[in-house]
Structure 1
Amino acid sequence: MQELNIALVTIGGLTLALSLISGLMRNRVYFLSEPMAAVILGIVIGPLGLDLLELAHWGDPFTILEQFSRITVGLAVMAAALRLPQRYFRKYARSMAMVLVPGMVGMWLVSSALVYALLGVPLWIAMLVGAIVTPTDPVLAGTIVTGSAAEQDIPMSIRNLLTGESGANDGLAYPLVFLPILVLQHPPSRAITDWLLETLLWEVGAAVVIGAIVGSTAGWIERESREHEFLEETSLLSVTVALTVAVLGGVKLLGSDGILAAFVAGLLFNQFANATDEADEQKVQETVLRLFTFPIFVFFGMALPLDLWLTLGWMGIALAVGVLLLRRLPMMIVFHRFVGLIDSKRDALFAGWFGPIGIAALFYATVVHRILGNEIIWGAASLVIASSVLIHGIMATPFTKLYGQTISSERTQTERGEDSRSEFTED
């Protein structure tokens, strides 16, 4: 009971403090992001600091991290789906397909190659670590693309691109993660068969179908209930949160990918629901997500495997730097001409750099640890996650402002050029 009270006062106090100064944190504090503050608190109160709390006293630390991160990512992908304009994926199908298919495969292969070259692990272990760190995290991405600073400095097209990608590729990383797992567990022929029939056809395909059916049905019922005045304001505020939890749990019971199903359900709910109510639901979803975001980052700070990081040595640091620089940035620069939402190399550089690695990777890392129990995988993945939280957290605000200033300067020069040409024509 004493540890519970310590957890309540520390995590609750941090959430209260950061919520009261969220605008200051996102717009003016350049060196400390909200996720960083939560991780630091976890380090301070955990075994690496004052040792006030330890996840092992509450149960298996990996089980706690896995289940809490699963719920947090589910809420995050639902929030991302609600944040997007209606029919976004249909309108920008080509752009999203480029980012989510060859783009994701490219990120996976580059990350895997870095792990294989720097850590000297077997090929399929390297492929597994690469798959874990491939998805763009919707929790960290949400802190970059939301808020007044983001609305002012980041074009809507780039914000929607990062939102849509981070929401979709968390679930689509599932087959990338489970292919190496199956190869490590079974003979190649059985592994490929299981991957094609179970992972792709059922765990991914069925997740899309189930999510679409549940989301569209819930959205249609919500709209009809609003039109017939069957819906109270208090019940409206719980609809998408309940939808997220129900889809996560129900689809998981069916043995499919609950995170992907939650994102698809959010997209279809967004399409069928009343537009005004959908805007209210987005605010509620973001608020509930915030309440889950701080605890999971605190838990992550408490569980940091410093001993495993020391075992990796300088190669671990080189891996983290290499993944952050090479995993996504070259891919976005190469593919940006095929992505209609990106107008210039400047936009490609920004979108390529801000593809953070966070809670989605933490979820897959804990799933892999439960199945395989490989400590090297956990050590390498957690080091990359912590590095992304640190580096992207420090650079988010200044880079966003610099990006916004370059766009404003370019727009001003263009307007001046047009005015000059107009004056010349009149003369």
Structure 2
Amino acid sequence: MEALNIALVTIGTLTLVLSLVSGLLQDRAYLPSEPMAAATLGVVLGPIGLNLLHLEGFDDPFLVLEQFARITVGLAVMAAALRLPSGYVSDNDRGMAAVLVPGMVAKWLVSSALVYALVGVPVWIALLIGAVVTPTDPVLAGTIVTGNAAERYIPESIRNLLTAESGANDGLAYPLVFLPLLVLQHPLDRALTDWALGALLWGVGAAVAIGAAVGATAGWIERQSSEHAFLEESSLLSVTVAFTFAVLGGVKLLGSDGILAVFVAGLLFNRFAESTDEIDEQKVQETVLRLFTFPIFVLFGLVIPWKQWLELGWSGVALAASILLLRRTPMMLVFDRFVDDVDARGAVFAGWFGPIGIAAIFYATVAHRVLGTEIVWSVTSLVVASSILVHGLTATPLTKLYGHAMDENHRQSEDTDRSDSSSAFADG
């Protein structure tokens, strides 16, 4: 009970302080990001620091982390779906398909090759770790694409691209993760059959179908209730949060991919629901997400495997740096031509800010539960911590640099247009 009270005080105080100064954190390059501050608090309060909080009292600490991460990612992908303009994914189907299918496969193979080369694990373990770190995290990405600084410096096209990708590929990583997981547990022919029928057909196909049907139905009902004044404001503000939990839990009970179903359901709900209510619903969703985001990063700080990191040595450092540099940016430079309103500079920016976070923690804890091997968690946690640190430190300065570069290009373009107009007038 004492540990619970300590957790309530520390996490509550952290959430209060960070909420009051969130704009300042986004505007000052020398201040830590919110996830970085939360993870640091976990380290300070954990076994390596003051030893005030720990998860060893639970029968399976990784199970606690897994379920907390699953709920947080579910809230995050719903928030991402509500944040997008209605119909964004279908209107940009060519670009999204390129980024989410060959783009994800490219990220998976690059990450896996780096793990295999630098850590020296078996091929299927490398493919598993590569799949775990493939998805762009919607929680960390949300801290980059939301807020006054993001709206001021990052074009809407880039913000929408990062939001849509981070929301979709958390669920779409499901078959990538379960292919090596199944191969490591069963003979190859059985593993491939289970993967095609279970992970791909049922895990992805059913999740998309169920999410779309439930989301469209819930959106239509919400619109009708709003038009007929059946909804009170207090009920309205709880709709999307309750909807997230219902879809996440219900689809999981059916054995499908609950995270992907939540994102698809959010997209369809966003399209069919009353548009005037969506702003309030989005704000509540973002607020509840913040209440889960800080605790999950504190929990991550508590369970960092420092000993295993030291055993990885410089190969672990090289791996984390290589994955952050090579996993995503080259892919975005290749596929940016398929994405509307994204040039080479925008592709580099979007390529760099593809953070690795809670989604990777979720899949790593699933792999740890299924296989019982430590190496997946050791490597994944190191990459996640590196992403929290590096992307947290670079978010503000690179966002401002990108915004200033865009403004300079815009001014040069206007000067060129005025010069051309003046020349044409003089010639006339």
Q: What is the TM-score normalised by the length of structure 1?
A: 0.99
Alignment pair present for 1:252 and 2:265:
no
CA distance in structure 1 between the partners assigned to 2:335 and 2:232 by the alignment: 47
Counterpart contact for 1:30–1:398, Cα < 8 Å: no
Partner of 1:297: 297
- Once the two structures are TM-superposed, the CA of residue 58 in structure 1 deviates from its matched residue by 3.8
Counterpart contact for 2:153–2:402, Cα < 8 Å: yes
- Once the two structures are TM-superposed, the CA of residue 339 in structure 1 deviates from its matched residue by 2.2
Partner of 1:156: 156
Partner of 1:353: 352
Partner of 1:100: 100
Secondary structure of residue in 2 paired with 1:53: coil
Q: Deviations over 1:282-331 (max 9, x none)?
A: 11100000000000000000000001101111111111001000000111
| Identity between Structure 1 and Structure 2 (%) | 71
Counterpart contact for 1:103–1:335, Cα < 8 Å: yes
Partner of 1:229: 229
* Runs of 4+ in structure 1 over 3 Å off: none
Alignment pair present for 1:410 and 2:409:
yes
Partner of 1:167: 167
Superposition map of 1:251-290 within 5 A? 251-290=251-290
Counterpart contact for 2:25–2:31, Cα < 8 Å: no
**What letter corresponds to residue 189 of structure 1 in structure 2?**
D
Counterpart contact for 2:150–2:399, Cα < 8 Å: yes
Superposition map of 1:56-135 within 5 A? 56-135=56-135
- Once the two structures are TM-superposed, the CA of residue 203 in structure 1 deviates from its matched residue by 1.3
Counterpart contact for 2:215–2:267, Cα < 8 Å: yes
Partner of 1:378: 377
Partner of 2:317: 317
Counterpart contact for 1:178–1:195, Cα < 8 Å: yes
Partner of 1:187: 187
Q: Deviations over 1:35-90 (max 9, x none)?
A: 00000000000011000011112442101110000000000000000000111111
CA distance in structure 1 between the partners assigned to 2:177 and 2:156 by the alignment: 31
Between the two proteins, the alignment pairs up a number of residues equal to 426
Counterpart contact for 1:358–1:388, Cα < 8 Å: yes
- Once the two structures are TM-superposed, the CA of residue 29 in structure 1 deviates from its matched residue by 4.0
CA distance in structure 2 between the partners assigned to 1:298 and 1:425 by the alignment: 63
- Once the two structures are TM-superposed, the CA of residue 31 in structure 1 deviates from its matched residue by 4.1
Partner of 2:338: 338
CA distance in structure 2 between the partners assigned to 1:220 and 1:124 by the alignment: 45
Alignment gaps of 5+ in structure 2:
none
CA-atom RMSD in angstroms: 0.8
Secondary structure of residue in 1 paired with 2:56: helix
Counterpart contact for 1:137–1:357, Cα < 8 Å: yes
Q: Deviations over 1:363-395 (max 9, x none)?
A: 000000000011011100100000000000000
Counterpart contact for 2:29–2:397, Cα < 8 Å: no
Q: What is the TM-score normalised by the length of structure 2?
A: 0.99
CA distance in structure 2 between the partners assigned to 1:211 and 1:323 by the alignment: 32
Partner of 2:27: 27
**What letter corresponds to residue 405 of structure 1 in structure 2?**
H
**What letter corresponds to residue 207 of structure 2 in structure 1?**
A
CA distance in structure 2 between the partners assigned to 1:413 and 1:198 by the alignment: 54
